């Protein structure tokens, strides 16, 4: 949901805080092979759901939109 902040006008896409947020998301939530984005990591604790987390396409599209907006 942090990737939506520039879209709603809360912060500029090129703001250093947003750039840092994108870097953290890339490091922690992007999947290795396809570059899609997970909604959250399940490795740090049990989320109450069976199975593992799969990429969440909305988050992936938000990241692409952030790339386009920030150049």
Based on the structure, what is the number of domains in the chain?
Answer: 1
Q: Which residues of the chain have pLDDT under 50?
A: none
* pLDDT at 48 (0 to 100): 64
Q: What is the dihedral of CA 7, 62, 18, 2, to 10 degrees?
A: 80
Residue 45 maps to a domain: no
* pLDDT at 47 (0 to 100): 62
Is the whole-model pTM more than 0.85?
Answer: no
Burial annotation 42-56 (CB, 10 A radius, 16+ → b, else e): eeeeeeeeeeeeebe
Residue 6 maps to a domain: yes
Structural domain boundaries enclosing 22:
2-40+51-70
Q: How many CB atoms lie within 10 A of CB 30?
A: 16
* pLDDT at 46 (0 to 100): 64
* pLDDT at 32 (0 to 100): 74
* pLDDT at 4 (0 to 100): 94
Residue 9 maps to a domain: yes
Residue 46 maps to a domain: no
Residue 62 maps to a domain: yes
């Amino acid at each position: 949901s942090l990737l939506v902040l520039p879209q709603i006008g809360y912060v500029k896409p090129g703001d250093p805080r947003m750039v840092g947020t994108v870097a953290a998301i890339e490091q922690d939530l992007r999947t290795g092979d396809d570059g899609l984005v997970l909604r959250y990591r399940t490795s740090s604790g049990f989320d109450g759901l069976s199975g593992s987390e799969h990429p969440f396409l909305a988050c992936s599209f938000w990241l692409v939109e952030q790339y386009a907006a920030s150049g």
